[in-house]
Chains A and B, each alone.
Chain A
Amino acid sequence: MVERESPLGQAYKPGRHGNVAEAAGVTLSETRPGSIVEVIAWPGNEKTALAAIKSATGLALPDRPGAGVSREGRAGYGFAPRRWLVIDDREGAARELHKAVAETTGVINDLSHGRAVIRIAGPRAEWVLSKLFAVDFSTGAFPVSNGCSTSHHEIFAQIQRTGKNQFDVVVFRSFARAFWTTLCHSAEEVGYEVS
């Protein structure tokens, strides 16, 4: 496979930036997964679709709004009624899901080339994201593995908490550089490391 080019381009500047008086508050990176797939169930087929996701990816997603599973190299969560996002480090998850999800159950949408995944990790991750999104990022309201869909101004974002202090933000590829730049500016006050 030809390696996919990062949408961040020149805006991706590895190194230590912003406030350097203290340890970096956050680390920013692009995870570049091989597959980003949306699964959409027809009304009344939620359970069948979740079973199909489990058989294709091994992810047992709970049937609750925003609930998900996050594992090394693979994650999934519900982000809208009857819709789930599956992210896999490997390529080809769309093909497997396409086989597993019957056409009477729902449809899948391969977004691997349409989205970028930006990871924000570190003790100040909640703080930095709270400056951008009107969502409660505390662990009580937003537990590990949960996801949500929201937007920063007109940039639609799907966010999953993949660790206590780690979030993966999925944005449209064409908006990724703009969002990344905004995120870098927001992280300046706490100091950030691009890895």
Chain B
Amino acid sequence: MRITCPYCGTRDVVEFTYQGDATVTRPDPASTDQAAWNAYVYDRANPAGKHSELWQHSGGCRAHLVVERDTVSHVITSVAFAGIKPNPARTTTPKRKSPARKAATRGKAAS
């Protein structure tokens, strides 16, 4: 797998470090909502298909990146610097997937 860093260009994946799911939002640090913290730490959608994730170009320019990657085909559709533009995926409140959404995702992955 190769990732095209917006600064360095296309590089091998060994230069990058996976930094986790880019769709989760940390609750307010002052929050004592155990359910929200539990969801932030443990709940992941694990989709078979398009996924937004954080990578760091640790063996290069060290920039943090938001990578849109298909977890089935490993096709990368977009790479952007993290934190430069507000990423709508990261500003939404994390929600557990409703059964309807789950079904829709499953349908998309199968097609």
Contacts and interface: CB of A to CB of B under 8 A. Distances in A.
Interface of A: 65-66, 79-81, 83, 134-135, 141, 148-151, 156
Contact of A148 (B8, B62, B63, B81): B8
A151 B12 contact: no
B15 A80 contact: no
Nearest to B60: A149
A80 B61 contact: yes
B63 A80 contact: yes
Contacts of A135: 11
Interface residues of B, number: 13
The DSSP consensus for interface residues of chain A is strand
A155 to B, nearest CB: 9
Nearest to A141: B9
B12 A134 contact: yes
A109 to B, nearest CB: 13
Contacts of A148: 8, 60
A141 B11 CA distance: 13
A177 to B, nearest CB: 20
Contacts of B60: 80, 148-151
Contact of A151 (B7, B59, B63): B59
A148 B11 CA distance: 11
